[in-house]
């Protein structure tokens, strides 16, 4: 008996839900992200704020949908299907796994990805200049050359650079490969420490002690979550820690020439707005972050055994004052 009731309930609720309808001249933007995380959340906020500034206000002429997949691929797939089924004007996919599953589901709906480091490897676009289909977006590829420049400006004699990364994160692996290549081109050596989860970051950082002159952290999500651990190792062993994003400088890294994900989100939002106004994703080149800010933390530098030059501090957009 209870079995029958269960079946009837299920059927009835599905039917009831099918009766909801939506209004017509509102633009619909659906945002999906793979997991909740400060960087990805900031990007999400950036998209919303940029759209608002360009005249698309939620509740008035814009309907926003948002779902997070809680790190689960199957849910990401169902979210993608759900969004495609709603026929939005644009789908925004934050992070590679979400972008891929949306790409597989959405054939004609414009898709703008955000926080995807290597869209070519992820097979989301044909080329950086001409994506070729319905997908384009903003890549958070790091300006590695500029970062190495900064590092060498502060520590010209550094020969061995260490880094901690999660070999299970696609973005991180792509960055590490690039980093290795670019450092080698300058005659520098890359020493890697692997951490598959945040609890392993401390151990990985410690494994670098005695083998490196400086540590450089990419935007690897796992490592950024545990940045303090790397900073503490840097301070204790007097190894300067450089970062790729500005927020980590506030948490104790010496310097970074970076962007923040909020701005990344705003840049994404700008692309969404252009598509809403009629632009074709196939011809919109994939963008990278142009605007870079120099953040420095001289006190942290002191603790890690180096003194930042007056020049550098003057060039900085922001000088972090930390006492600890």
Partner 1 sequence: MLSEIAFYGALETGLIYGLVAFGIYISFRVLDFPDLTVDGSFPLGAAVAAVLIIAGWNPWLATGMAVLAGMAAGAVTAILNVKLNILNLLASILTMIALYSVNLRVMGRPNLALLTEDTVLTPWYDLEFLEYHQVSVVLFAIVALVSLILLWRFMKSETGLAMRATGANARMARAQGIATGGMIIFGVALSNGLVGLAGALFAQSQGAADVTMGVGVIVIGLASLIGGEAVITPSSVMRALVACVIGAIIYRLAIAFALNADVLGLQAQDLNLITAVLVTLAIVLPGVRTNLTNRFSRKKA
Task: Say whether residue 85 binds partner 1 (CB under 8 A).
Answer: yes
Task: Say whether residue 142 binds partner 1 (CB under 8 A).
Answer: no
Residue of 8, 73, 127, 309 interacting with partner 1 (CB under 8 A): 73
Q: Which long-range contacts (CB under 8 A, 24 or more apart) does 104-108 make?
A: 104/80, 105/77, 105/80, 105/81, 106/80, 106/134, 107/134, 108/134
Site string for partner 1, 305-324 (x = CB under 8 A): --------------------
Q: How many residues bind partner 1 (CB under 8 A)?
A: 50
276 Cβ neighbours under 8 A, 6+ residues apart? 27, 29, 56, 89, 90
Task: Say whether residue 64 binds partner 1 (CB under 8 A).
Answer: no
Inter-residue contact 195 to 240 (CB < 8 Å): no
Instruction: Dump the DSSP string for 200-219.
Output: GHHHHHHTTTTT-SEEE--S
Residue of 24, 25, 74, 157 interacting with partner 1 (CB under 8 A): 74
Task: Say whether residue 272 binds partner 1 (CB under 8 A).
Answer: no
How does strand 293-296 pair with strand 255-259? Answer: antiparallel
Residue of 105, 231, 284, 308 interacting with partner 1 (CB under 8 A): 105
Name residue, tokens 């026929």: 87
* Least spacing, CB of residue 21 vs partner 1, in Å: 8
Task: Say whether residue 9 binds partner 1 (CB under 8 A).
Answer: no
> Which residues, numbered 188-227, are part of the site for partner 1 (CB under 8 A)?
196
* Least spacing, CB of residue 163 vs partner 1, in Å: 16
Residue of 7, 159, 186, 238 interacting with partner 1 (CB under 8 A): 7
Task: Say whether residue 23 binds partner 1 (CB under 8 A).
Answer: no
Q: What is the DSSP letter of 157?
A: T
Alpha helices in the chain (DSSP H): 2-17, 38-53, 73-85, 96-105, 144-154, 170-185, 201-206, 221-225, 227-237, 246-250, 261-276, 298-303, 310-315
Residue of 53, 55, 123, 228 interacting with partner 1 (CB under 8 A): 123
| Interacting residues with partner 1 (CB under 8 A) | 1-3, 6-7, 10, 13-14, 17-20, 36, 67-75, 77-82, 84-86, 96-97, 100-101, 103-105, 107, 121-124, 167-170, 173-174, 196
């Amino acid at each position: 008996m209870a079995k029958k009731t269960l079946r009837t309930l299920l059927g009835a609720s599905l039917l009831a839900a099918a009766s909801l309808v939506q209004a017509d001249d509102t633009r619909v933007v659906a945002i999906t992200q793979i997991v909740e995380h400060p960087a990805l959340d900031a990007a999400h906020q950036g998209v919303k704020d940029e759209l608002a500034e360009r005249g698309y206000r939620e509740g008035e002429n814009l309907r926003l949908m948002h779902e997070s997949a809680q790190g689960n691929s199957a849910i990401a797939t169902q979210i993608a299907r759900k969004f495609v089924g709603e026929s939005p004007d644009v789908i925004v996919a934050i992070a590679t796994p979400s972008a891929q599953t949306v790409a597989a589901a959405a054939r004609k709906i414009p898709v703008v990805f955000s926080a995807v480091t290597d869209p070519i490897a992820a097979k989301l676009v044909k080329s950086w200049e001409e994506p070729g289909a319905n997908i384009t977006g903003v890549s958070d590829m790091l300006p590695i050359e500029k970062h190495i420049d900064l590092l060498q400006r502060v520590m010209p004699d550094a020969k061995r650079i260490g880094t901690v990364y999660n070999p299970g994160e696609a973005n991180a692996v792509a960055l590490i490969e690039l980093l290795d290549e670019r450092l080698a081109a300058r005659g520098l050596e890359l020493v890697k420490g692997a951490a598959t989860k945040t609890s392993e970051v401390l151990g990985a950082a410690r494994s670098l002690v005695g083998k490196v002159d400086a540590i450089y952290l990419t935007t690897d999500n796992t490592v950024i979550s545990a940045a303090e651990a790397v900073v503490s190792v840097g301070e204790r062993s007097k190894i300067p820690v450089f970062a790729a994003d500005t927020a980590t400088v506030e948490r104790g890294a010496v310097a970074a020439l970076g962007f923040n994900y909020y701005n990344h989100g705003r840049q994404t939002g700008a692309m969404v707005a252009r598509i809403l106004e009629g632009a074709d994703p196939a011809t919109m080149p994939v963008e990278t972050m142009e605007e870079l800010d120099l953040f420095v933390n001289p006190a942290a530098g002191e603790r890690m055994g180096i003194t930042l030059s007056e020049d550098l501090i003057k060039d900085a957009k922001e000088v972090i004052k930390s006492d600890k």
